[in-house]
Amino acid sequence: MIDLRLVRDNPDAARASQLARGADPAAVDRLLAADASRRAAVAAADELRAEQKTFGRSIGKASPEDRPALLTRGKALAAEVDEAESAETVAQAELTAAHKIIDNVVSTDTPPGGEQDYVVLKHVGEPKVLTGKVRDHLELGEGLGAIDMERGAKVSGARFYFLKGVGAQLQFAMLNLAISRALANGFTPMIPPVLVKPESMEGGGFLGAHADEVYKLANDDLYLVGTSEVPMLAYHADEILDLSAGPIRYAGWSSCFRREAGSYGKDTKGIIRVHQFDKVEMFSYVRPEEADQEHQRLLAMEEEMLGLMELPYRVIDTAAGDLGSSAARKFDCEAWVPTQEAYRELTSTSNCTTYQARRMNIRYRDENGKPQMAATLNGTLATTRWIVAILENHQQPDGSVVVPAALRPFMGGLEVLEPTR
């Protein structure tokens, strides 16, 4: 949720943000109206309650002969309070609804526009010119005995796979390297639950426009998370954090589950777009004034990892219309995928400012000891999809794949993955 005070003091900023996202600026005015009527309802209910409380106490002290008359009056007051409280509840619900519908206020640095309006911040490395027979990641993975899509489909259906042998090893190595880099940077490793309650899912803003992306276990009223961002955010729900010693940083390792509804026919080959994958995700709780700096830090760590994987990539500043509902600004790192002759997203880091924290009621104490809303940020440190870029960029004409040096210590010193057929 966005800051109500900001909306009251500077509604134009909120309207401008809505326009940049391609959303309805009138939603801001509906929020203001709902806010005003809630405040009126609260004042009315408070006043009646105060009256009832004082009056109720007098009944207890009254003499037996005075009681019947007082009780009649008491009953009437109770009915009035009841009515006022109902009105208060309704007004509160209307305010919450109007409040939640508005996405985070975008950063003034975020490029306006839609999916195609991103700004490329930089390129790192040159797309490699491959010679000889060039294989895509699936062909390479199958040749190495690393990826088995057919059996994935047999066992679980489309968009499922087995990582096997060096494929499984490669993923372990990559994720372990990610965790060790996170540790070196002061992150606390975390293995979270991947099944969460509806309110945990809701808090991150994942049940809004993209609710059909999420797997739900109806029998148990639980959701499978699409990223460990969900449990790492819900982890500190309703808490007042101590950020006096600096940000709190976690690196979550989890499987992630996505329905990929509406992506029929897109990326059907291989493991680029799958229903289940593994990921190491960074998550930071910071003071709002530190959020931009933390965002740069997360981006730098993503770039470091891509560098260690020896991949050519570019960094883009995502446009307002392509931001998630919680994000004010988002940077994606996209690695070159030779057989697609395209850059594909490998990491994504979002600055969610106080938006998620406000939904989850996560605060910290400022210098004066007063609770204030915290800011949250997240970013990818490694995922299964990276295997696509690693295999394709480091392939050799004979179908073998050179292991990036940084991964070798995590693979028993293995330097080259050799085809098994």
Partner RNA sequence: GGUAGCGUGUCCGAGCGGCCUAAGGAGCACGCCUCGAAAGCGUGUGAGCGUGAAAGCGUUCCGUGGGUUCAAAUCCCACCGCUACCGCCA
Point out the residues that are catalytic.
Answer: 258, 273, 345, 348, 385
C-beta of residue 208 within 8 angstroms of C-beta of residue 256? no
Binding status of residue 191 toward RNA by CB under 7 A: no
Task: Name the residue nearer to RNA (CB basis): 59 or 158.
Answer: 59
Task: Name the residue nearer to RNA (CB basis): 79 or 183.
Answer: 79
Q: Which stretch binds RNA (CB under 7 A): 51-59, 164-172, 245-253, 304-312?
A: 51-59
Binding status of residue 408 toward RNA by CB under 7 A: no
Find, among 182, 171, 189, 164, the residue nearest to 411 by Cα. Answer: 171
Binding status of residue 47 toward RNA by CB under 7 A: yes
Binding status of residue 198 toward RNA by CB under 7 A: no
Q: Which stretch binds RNA (CB under 7 A): 37-45, 146-154, 180-188, 267-275?
A: 37-45
Binding status of residue 52 toward RNA by CB under 7 A: yes
Binding status of residue 186 toward RNA by CB under 7 A: no
Find, among 45, 27, 28, 26, the residue nearest to 90 by Cα. Answer: 45
- The pair of three-digit structure tokens given for residue 199, joined into one six-digit string: 């309110």
Binding status of residue 53 toward RNA by CB under 7 A: yes
CA distance 73 to 56: 10
C-beta of residue 362 within 8 angstroms of C-beta of residue 374? yes
Q: Is 224 left (phi over 0), alpha (psi -120 to 50) or beta?
A: beta
Task: Name the residue nearer to RNA (CB basis): 243 or 391.
Answer: 243
Out of 22, 114, 198, 371, the only residue in the binding site for RNA (CB under 7 A) is 371
Burial of 209 (0-12, 13-18, 19+ CB in 10 A): exposed
Task: Name the residue nearer to RNA (CB basis): 197 or 210.
Answer: 197
Out of 22, 39, 246, 405, the only residue in the binding site for RNA (CB under 7 A) is 39
The owner of tokens 């938006």 is 355
- The DSSP annotation for 269-318 comes to STTSS-SEEEEEEEEEEE-GGGHHHHHHHHHHHHHHHHHHTT--EEEEE-
Binding status of residue 9 toward RNA by CB under 7 A: no
Out of 11, 25, 74, 419, the only residue in the binding site for RNA (CB under 7 A) is 74
- Interface residues toward RNA, by CB under 7 A: 39, 42-43, 45-47, 49-50, 52-54, 56-57, 59-60, 71, 74-75, 77-78, 240, 363, 369-371
